[in-house]
C-alpha cells in the first residue's frame, strides 16, 4: 500500500528506482547533481558560511547585535527603539537551492510530486535527527553530508507546515509543505498541526518584491485559529527558505499566542549564497 501511495521514484530524474536504490531514495548519479547544506552554517538562518571562524552570516550578525542591544535596553524601558529582530530562533535547511534540485522543487510544488516529501523527510531525520531530538536510523550512511552540530537539540513538540491560501490549495490539490510535515511526523513521531495557522490572504509571489514589500505583503497574511496555544517549541516547515519573511510572519503570530520558541526547517535554502 505504501508503495502505491509513494511510488519510489528518484526526486531528481523522476525515473523509477531499482530495488537496491530504494533504501537510499535517489540515484547515485543524481545525488551528485544536488548540493546538501554542509560544513559551517550561520547559527541563525542556516546559510553556509565562507569562514568557519564566524558564527553568523553578515545579515544575522547585525540581527544578533540588535538583540544584544534590546537586552541592554531593558534597563531603560521608556526608551523606545525599533530594531529588526527575529521571532525565529533558528533555521535549518537540507539543500542549497541550486542545480538539479530547482526542477525537483518545481515538480514537488506544481506537478503533484508530493511523494518526494518521503525522501526529504528521510534526509531530515538522517542528517538533522540530532537537532530534532530523534535518533537517526542510519547515522553512518550520510557522514559526508552531515551538517556540523553547532547547536543542541531543539526537540520541537509540534510540526507546523506553512499554510497555503485555501482557494489556491483547492486549485492545486495539495500543499507541499504539508506533505513534508506529514512525512517528517511519520518518521519522528512529532505530531503535526495543519489547522492551527491559516493563510487568510493570497499573497503576491514574493520573488517579485523587495524585502520591505515582502514584509508588507505578509502583514496579517496568517492567523492563528485558537485563542491560546499550548505548544512550547514549534517547528515550522516549508519547501524553500529565501529571505525568511514567510517563516518570520508565521513565527510572529505563534509567539504572540504564547509559543516560546519557533524553529524553521526547509528542504531548500536560497538567496544570496
Ligand atoms: Zn535519478
Ligand atoms: Zn544568517
High-pLDDT (> 90) share of the chain, %? 60
* d(CA 164, ligand 1 centre) in Å: 29
Is residue 85 scored above 70 in pLDDT?
yes
Per-residue pLDDT tens for 140-179?
444 444 444 455 788 899 999 999 999 999 999 999 999 9
* d(CA 31, ligand 1 centre) in Å: 8
Per-residue pLDDT tens for 86-123?
899 999 999 999 999 999 999 999 999 999 999 999 99
Task: Find the ligand nearest to 25 CA.
Answer: 1
Pairing of strands 197-199, 222-224: antiparallel
Per-residue pLDDT tens for 179-207?
999 999 999 999 999 999 999 998 867 66
CA atoms within 13 A on the CB side of 63: 17
25-46-203-184 Cα dihedral, nearest 10 degrees: 40
Per-residue pLDDT tens for 5-21?
556 899 999 999 998 89
Task: Find the ligand nearest to 15 CA.
Answer: 1
Residue 148 confidence (pLDDT): 46
Residue 137 confidence (pLDDT): 46
* d(CA 170, ligand 2 centre) in Å: 35
* d(CA 95, ligand 1 centre) in Å: 16
23, 106, 211, 243 from 102: Cα distances, Å: 23, 6, 22, 17
Q: How far apart are CA 164 and CA 149, in angstroms?
A: 32
Q: What is the DSSP letter of 145?
A: G
High-pLDDT (> 70) share of the chain, %? 83
Residue 161's beta-bridge partner residues? 237
Amino acid at each position: 500500500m505504501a508503495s502505491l501511495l509513494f511510488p519510489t521514484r528518484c526526486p531528481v530524474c523522476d525515473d523509477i528506482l531499482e530495488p537496491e536504490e530504494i533504501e537510499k531514495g535517489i540515484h547515485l548519479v543524481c545525488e551528485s547533481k544536488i548540493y546538501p547544506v554542509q560544513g559551517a552554517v550561520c547559527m541563525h538562518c542556516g546559510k553556509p558560511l565562507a569562514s568557519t571562524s564566524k558564527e553568523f552570516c553578515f545579515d544575522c550578525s547585525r540581527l544578533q547585535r540588535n538583540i544584544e542591544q534590546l537586552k541592554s535596553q531593558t534597563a531603560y524601558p521608556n526608551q523606545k527603539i525599533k530594531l529588526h529582530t527575529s521571532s525565529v530562533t533558528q533555521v535549518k535547511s537540507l539543500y542549497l537551492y541550486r542545480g538539479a534540485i530547482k526542477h525537483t522543487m518545481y515538480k514537488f510544488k506544481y506537478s503533484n510530486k508530493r511523494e518526494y516529501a518521503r525522501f526529504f523527510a528521510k534526509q531530515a531525520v538522517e542528517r538533522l535527527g540530532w537537532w530534532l531530538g530523534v535518533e537517526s536510523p542510519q547515522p553512518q550512511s550520510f557522514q559526508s553530508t552531515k551538517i556540523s552540530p553547532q547547536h543542541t537539540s531543539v526537540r520541537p513538540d509540534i510540526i507546523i507546515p506553512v499554510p497555503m491560501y485555501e482557494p489556491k490549495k483547492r486549485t492545486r490539490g495539495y500543499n507541499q509543505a504539508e506533505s513534508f510535515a506529514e512525512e517528517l511526523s511519520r518518521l519522528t513521531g512529532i505530531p503535526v498541526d495543519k489547522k492551527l495557522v491559516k493563510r487568510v490572504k493570497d499573497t503576491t509571489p514574493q520573488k517579485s518584491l523587495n524585502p520591505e514589500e515582502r514584509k508588507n505583503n505578509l502583514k496579517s497574511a496568517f492567523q492563528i485559529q485558537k485563542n491560546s496555544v499550548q505548544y512550547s517549541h514549534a517547528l515550522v516547515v516549508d519547501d524553500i527558505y529565501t529571505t525568511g519573511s514567510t517563516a518570520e510572519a508565521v513565527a510572529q503570530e505563534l509567539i504572540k499566542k504564547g509559543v516560546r520558541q519557533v524553529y524553521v526547517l526547509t528542504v531548500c535554502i536560497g538567496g544570496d549564497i
